[in-house]
């Protein structure tokens, strides 16, 4: 398979997005030392802390070379992509798109045997 965007082959992966919720504590005791100019309450010491990581339900095929999402419409001969988070990926072929009409007619052509009259 080739990526439609960058024409690279076999650099695909399944990706999902994760929503990360972070927090940082704020001084709310009203002390003047904990306020900055303009009435802003300062943060308490320490950086951002991760509260929760929630993966989204959407999983998609992605090209690792150009980092673009690969759409099933852009893959020749593939009608559907099925992704399971535990089993893997199934590419369902589209046999009608695999052959053009002329190629299909050539494959179906009946050849007579030399003994037939």
What's residue 43's pLDDT? 92
Residue 27 burial (C-beta neighbours within 10 Å; 0-12, 13-18, 19+): middle
Q: Which of 49-53, 81-85, 95-99 has the lowest mean pLDDT?
A: 95-99
With pLDDT > 90 as the criterion, what percentage of the chain qualifies?
Answer: 29
Cα-Cα-Cα-Cα dihedral sign, residues 72, 62, 51, 32:
negative
For 86-105, what is the mean pLDDT? 69
* 27 pLDDT more than 80: yes
Identify the residue with better confidence: 24 or 6. Answer: 24
Q: How many CB atoms lie within 10 A of CB 6?
A: 13
What's residue 54's pLDDT? 94
Start-to-end Cα distance in the chain: 46
Q: Which of 21-30, 54-63, 88-97 has the lowest mean pLDDT?
A: 88-97
* 68 pLDDT more than 80: yes
Q: Where are the domains of the chain?
A: 12-108
What's residue 52's pLDDT? 96
């Amino acid at each position: 398979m080739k990526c439609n965007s960058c024409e690279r082959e076999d650099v695909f992966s399944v990706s999902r997005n994760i929503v990360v919720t972070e927090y940082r504590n704020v001084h709310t005791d009203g002390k003047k030392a904990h306020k900055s100019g303009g009435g802003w309450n300062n943060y308490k010491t320490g950086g951002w802390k991760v509260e929760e990581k929630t993966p989204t339900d959407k999983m998609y095929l992605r090209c690792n070379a150009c980092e673009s999402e690969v759409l099933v419409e852009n893959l020749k001969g593939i009608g559907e992509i099925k992704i399971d988070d535990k089993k893997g990926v199934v590419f369902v072929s589209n046999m009608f798109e695999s052959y053009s009409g002329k190629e299909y007619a050539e494959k179906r052509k009946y050849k007579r045997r030399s003994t037939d009259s």
